[in-house]
A and B are shown apart, each in its own frame.
Chain A
Amino acid sequence: MVEKAAKKTKTPRVAMPEQDPQIRARNFLEVPTGYTMKMAQEEASRCLQCRKPSCVAGCPVGVDIPGFIDLIAQGDMTGAIRNLWGKNALPAVCGRVCPQESQCEGLCIVGRKGEPVAVGNLERFCADYERENGTGELPPRGPLTGKKVAVVGAGPSGLTVAGDLIVKGHDVTIYEAFHKPGGVLVYGIPEFRLPKAIVAQEVNFLERQGVKVECNAVVGRTVSIDELFEQDYDAVYVGVGAGLPRFMNIPGENYVGILSANEYLTRANLMKAYKYPDVDTPIPIGKNVVVLGAGNVAMDSARTAMRLGAESVKIVYRRSREEMPARNAEIHHAEEEGIELFLLTNPTKYIGNEKGRLTGMECLRMELGEPDDSGRRRPVAIEGSEFEVDCDLCIVAVGSGANPLLTSETPDMELNRWGNVVTNEATGKTTKKGVWAGGDIVTGAATVILAMGAGREAADSIHDYLELGW
């Protein structure tokens, strides 16, 4: 056994084939092109099938990782997808966008001495295989309960709640403010990282199981939560996301050419403005682009700008590389595509012309001082280090706050001082009877999988409430 494990540790991980950086930097096709069956089985055979799998403990939705990987190794693809669906309603999405390196793969025993098993790549393969070659057979649904649940927001947490509750036999309707379901999966994450056809397919999978999706329904405006209860809903789940862009609050921020990442990415992704003028929504094409911030959203914005034809794209971030919140893989992809990192740099004001258009930005060089509240070393400005950066497009990707549209119309649902919904951590229950919440509106901007984990817990709690009354 020990010998076998040692051998598996030494076997290199099967690399995911990718589009060449030079080529992909100018197209919107997905960057990694996916495993073949042979590659997947080879990678699956690297799994040690640990009896106490630590990888599972690292998964916010508790996917039976050794279980589905073993089924792939055996070539039982129907069994593998069934196993995945048991814990994860959106495997094609998670296989692509989860930060596996800090979750399942980060805890993989094989990874202690060598490279961890590529759990994400295998999850993705499994979901893609089912979509392309599967039987299309639905998972079994429990006996109908006659209970009605409204899910507010068709993003990752709402879709998870809907998927969990529909198989338990409840009647589920999702209310979505945009004209398309998917939330951040359709408006935020770009096509080259998560093809929209895949999101549509995942939503369609839920619809085939009986989930109803009402788009163009802005809960808080078109209908209130109390009105949903008047329409005989027994429970409501609020998963509306963060949805309030933060800006820098420095002079000149309203010049034309400065957009929040939310706006830029929504234009590019949801409205498909990268196909303009074949579609009707325009998007500014920058020649010299600056992206402020260094999270995954900043990387997505920078890589989109490059694909839209920018001559230069710079990520401007006030801390150092170590503190960049984006996944390493995303930073690596961005750099490969020619995106420059301007680290320890802080913008102090925007510069514009007489037409009110952005022409540049004044920045200060920073150095790292003592650790701050977040435990990261605080960036301190170096006096007299001002310099100018030419730019005609700036995308502000410095995070999102809590959008008050729904919460301000629901006064009996308690909020914290940042406007996030207060919930019981284990159950997702809010202070309003019959209402649960989860995802970014509770935690502040986080990841797709954490929102899904919160959805899973809330769905369990909603099920108990509907069946047992608590």
Chain B
Amino acid sequence: MFKIVKREEMSEGTVILNEIEAPLIAQKALPGQFVILKANEDGERIPLTMADTDPEKGTVTIIYMVVGKSTALFKELQVGDSFQDVIGPLGKATHLEKVGKVICVGGGTGVAVLHPITRGLKDAGNDVTCIIGARNKDLLIIEEQMKAASHDLRVCTDDGSYGHHGFVTEVMKEILDEGDTKLVVAIGPVPMMKAVSNITKEYDVETLVSLNPIMVDGTGMCGGCRVTIGGETKFACVDGPEFDGHKVDYDELMLRLNAYREEEQKSHDHYCTIRDAK
């Protein structure tokens, strides 16, 4: 059992932070790696990239958006409750080295995944500008942490309620126009990563993205997380989750992410009916 020691609600309760006791994972995990969590006996195995780890305390932190039945079930778990299973660290760690000027772009809960990578890039001696975005001010997450993890934080909101009025890509373009950018790391919704990659391709700037396709085991055994990278099939769980953003077939990824949409909707409705009846 893996006990929750800290819990926060963000983004009007649609995004949840859990700090979980998992000492073996906390000691081993590196930026960019993920864990698989399962709430209870009949639960689904859900992969989530870690937002933070504390090897001394023996904890890992995840931040997830409540989107379906499984995450709705996760949301029910309070401090002191436990996940039945947490498996990891899985996937390859981010290759962190000094390259010079770096832009880290995050959207939605992708900002959480971006957090340890941004900090790692800063610690490696890079000049890190971070751009994070959300639909409005209330949906922004971990702004303070991202500020501390980077040299310069830019915030964008779609409705202009805070920071730059517009998309993260607009701010990124301005910085790219200044020149010298050596690396862009983009993590967020697939359309955002696609848009970022399309722009950085024009500027010929190396771009890393982190993918979160549907998976079961997370160890290369099922092949459910197949993604096409430069025309070749890769397994995101063991070959990734990070890939060259310019080579990812984002359209295929979006279609594959919808594989169980109907089933998930049914399951979520079923769950809400039972929960609300109680």
Contact = CB atoms under 8 A, between A and B. Distances in A.
Nearest to A258: B226
B86 A216 contact: yes
A243 interface: yes
Interface in A236-293: 243-245, 247, 253-254, 256-257, 259-260, 262-263, 266-267, 271-272, 275-282, 284
B70 A280 contact: yes
Contacts of A222: 24-25, 28, 87-89
A59 B93 CA distance: 45
Interface of B: 24-25, 28, 38, 42-45, 69-70, 73, 84-90, 216-217, 219-224, 226, 228, 233, 238, 252, 255-256, 258-260, 263-264, 266-267, 270
Interface in A166-202: 177-179
* Nearest 3 CB-CB pairings of A with B: A356-B255, A263-B222, A282-B263
Contacts of A177: 87, 217, 219
A262 B43 CA distance: 19
A403 B220 contact: yes
Given A280-B69, A280-B70, 20 more contacts: A177-B87, A179-B87, A218-B87, A218-B88, A221-B88, A222-B87, A243-B220, A254-B252, A256-B256, A257-B259, A262-B223, A266-B216, A266-B221, A277-B69, A277-B270, A281-B44, A281-B216, A282-B264, A284-B260, A355-B255
Contacts of A243: 219-221
Contacts of B24: 217, 222-223
Interface string A341-371: 0000000000000011100000000000000
A178 B70 CA distance: 18
Nearest to B91: A221
Contact of B223 (A247, A278, A357): A247
Contact of A356 (B45, B256, B270): B256
A215 interface: yes
Contacts of B238: 404-405
A460 B216 CA distance: 35
Contacts of A260: 222-224
B224 to A, nearest CB: 5
Nearest to A217: B24
Contacts of A267: 216
The bracket for how many chain A residues form the interface is 35 or more
B226 A218 contact: no
A340 to B, nearest CB: 25
A134 B258 CA distance: 50
Given A216-B87, A277-B266, A280-B267, A403 B216 contact: no
Contacts of A266: 216-217, 221-222
Residue of A247, A254, A357, A404 most packed against chain B (CB within 10 A): A254
Nearest to A263: B222
Given A221-B28, A222-B28, A262-B222, A256 B217 contact: no
Contacts, number: 117
Contacts of A247: 223, 233
Interface of A: 177-179, 215-218, 221-223, 243-245, 247, 253-254, 256-257, 259-260, 262-263, 266-267, 271-272, 275-282, 284, 355-357, 403-405
A220 to B, nearest CB: 9
B85 A253 contact: no
B219 A403 contact: yes
A284 B264 CA distance: 11
A277 B70 CA distance: 12
A178 B219 CA distance: 9
A286 to B, nearest CB: 13
Contacts of A284: 259-260
A357 B260 CA distance: 11
14 contacts: A218-B88, A221-B88, A223-B24, A223-B28, A243-B221, A256-B258, A259-B224, A262-B221, A277-B69, A279-B43, A280-B70, A280-B73, A356-B256, A405-B219
A357 B258 CA distance: 10
Contacts of A405: 219-220, 238
Contact of A245 (B44, B45, B221, B228): B221
A222 B33 CA distance: 12
B233 A253 contact: yes
A183 to B, nearest CB: 11
A281 B221 contact: no
A271 B45 contact: yes
A244 B221 contact: yes
A217 B233 CA distance: 27
Contacts of A221: 28, 88-90, 219
